[in-house]
Amino acid sequence: MRQYILAIDQGTTGSTALILNGELEIVGTSSNDFPQHFPQPAWVEHDLNEVWQSVCLAAAGAIKEAGIDPGEIAGIGLTNQRETTCAWDLNGLPLARAIVWQDRRTASECVKLKGKRLEKFISHRTGLLIDPYFSATKMAWMKKYVPTVRDGLKTGTIRFGTIDSFLLYRLTGGRHATDVTNASRTMMMNLASCNWDDDLLDLFGIPRAVLPEILPTAVEYGRTRGFLNVPDGTPITGIAGDQHAALFGQACFGKGDAKCTYGTGAFALLNTGTEPIFSKNRMLTTVAWKLGSKTTYCLEGSAFIAGAAVQWVRDGLGIIESSPAIEPLAASVPDSDGVTFVPALSGMGAPHWLAEARGLITGITRRTSRAHIARATLEGVAFQVAELIAAMGKDFGKRISSLKVDGGAASNDLLMQFQSDILATKIVRSSIQETTAFGAGLQAGLGCGLWKDLDEISARWKNRGEFHPKISTARRRVELKRWNRAVCAVRLLSQ
């Protein structure tokens, strides 16, 4: 009897796989990292062969740890780094390195689009703002500058897509499809119809024929062929972009439910129900998921650098030997002693959208220590998330009183307490850290009938602790003023 789900989370720095049983319990897990490539300043690339290898190793490791027969897998769920853009041939072989969502090489093209006053038009069609973050300008750049891509477009032997599409193609031996959440992040999908928008395809010069078919959430996307020792014909029944999967994995099924995932970046999403809310505060409007014919929308705010700031403190400055070591170091001082770190190491995302912004540390004196910089790093992550939540609350018309959190940095108690303090909001930490993979697994389980509905999932969702505000309103105002001064300095320096 098939009673397990294989969930694969293909992330920015590595791939993770989980095996879930029918009780929503994780019985096997495995992760595998892969290299990042930085050929020029502000360029970030992935070798798709290395990505694929990491997925295979993670999946094989999870199956082995779970001790199950691969024939017992009822369905496979995929979740992925979203806007990262891929090109491959009809045999599934990469035509170029993938351009990662963090990559800023198309910043000048985005400036030109804004100069043509296209942002309002694009925002109305897609819910997105013009930024190098999204896939459309990445595809247009590959078309212009990568000979193998150019030749493939001429001969019709190319496939374009995000990471999920590439993985699905390789898993199935040729099925070219994507889900509505990933498509909604390309800047080429019409938010109302949930299909490719012909005007936008013409604008960016991308033929519809090379793009994947857009499908709802929790349906059969294809069946495996030649994947590890998983039997051919095993269905892939759930696909979602990582942050949408995390929203699902946090059981944020109700209008007004919100979550933040702390990974390489920090990503906050707010479920706004079946009608899209177009932001007046430079948030993004996107699809949360589509079950059957019912589309659920959300507001999203993204801080490009969160866990990556801790990695920089570790690898770039050498202040700590491991990422977890930042918490005890930061906790060794009562506060940052006025040091403020704006971690704009890859530009700034919402609500600022400053592609040219660079990181800034202010307030340094002779008394400043490693511990103060460590604490300022964690605070900088929390300040960014606080901006996102405040902006989404304004758009939603109601203050967000509770925030579910997940991701690696959500295990940091000092960070979570400061996040609660600066937001004046209850923080609820998920019992499962790998919520993105978990969410993809839940969607796959729905897609293959292992679980019947959202109510069954909600009834089994658990948290592992809460954080409540401890500082005064006056102190909170002082802290936010300190942050806002530093952000103003970043703005001036990026002009």
Span 66-76, pLDDT tens digits: 999 999 999 99
What are the pLDDT digits (tens) for 349-400?
A: 888 888 788 999 999 999 999 999 999 999 999 999 999 999 999 999 988 9
Average pLDDT on 161-185 reads 96
pLDDT band at 300 (very low <50, low <70, confident <90, very high): very high
Stronger pLDDT, 495 or 102, i.e. the higher one: 102
* pLDDT attached to residue 78: 96
Checking if the pLDDT of 13 tops 90, the result is no
* pLDDT attached to residue 453: 82
Inter-helix orientation angle 163-172/48-66, to 10°: 60
pLDDT band at 324 (very low <50, low <70, confident <90, very high): very high
* pLDDT attached to residue 309: 93
Identify the CA nearest to 162 among candidates 127, 188, 193, 128. 188
* pLDDT attached to residue 464: 76
Average pLDDT on 313-334 reads 94
pTM: 0.87
* pLDDT attached to residue 354: 85
Stronger pLDDT, 230 or 350, i.e. the higher one: 230
CATH classification code of 4-243: 3.30.420.40
The answer for residues whose C-beta is within 8 angstroms of residue 464's C-beta and 6 or more apart is 429, 430, 431
Average pLDDT on 249-260 reads 92
* pLDDT attached to residue 435: 84
Identify the CA nearest to 310 among candidates 326, 333, 299. 326
Distance separating alpha carbons of residues 81 and 16, to the nearest angstrom: 12
* pLDDT attached to residue 1: 59
CA atoms within 13 A on the CB side of 88: 27
Distance separating alpha carbons of residues 180 and 452, to the nearest angstrom: 21
Q: Where are the domains of the chain?
A: 4-243
**Percent of the chain scored above 70 by pLDDT?**
100
* pLDDT attached to residue 290: 94
* pLDDT attached to residue 388: 95
Checking if the pLDDT of 231 tops 70, the result is yes
What are the pLDDT digits (tens) for 272-290?
A: 999 899 999 989 999 999 9
* pLDDT attached to residue 304: 85
What is the average pLDDT score of the chain?
92
Checking if the pLDDT of 434 tops 80, the result is no
Question: Per the structure block, which two tokens stand in for 469?
Answer: 């505000």
Average pLDDT on 451-474 reads 84
* pLDDT attached to residue 325: 94
Q: Which range among 25-39, 328-342, 414-428, 461-475 shows the weakest confidence by mean pLDDT?
A: 461-475
Cα 469 to chain centroid, rounded: 27
Average pLDDT on 109-118 reads 93
Identify the CA nearest to 17 among candidates 70, 57, 71, 51. 57
Q: Report the C-alpha dihedral over residues 276, 9, 102, 301, rounded to 10 degrees.
A: 30
Per-residue three-class SS string for 435-463 = HHHHHHHHHHHHHHCCCCCHHHHHHHCCE
CB atoms within 10 A of CB 443: 32
Stronger pLDDT, 462 or 198, i.e. the higher one: 198
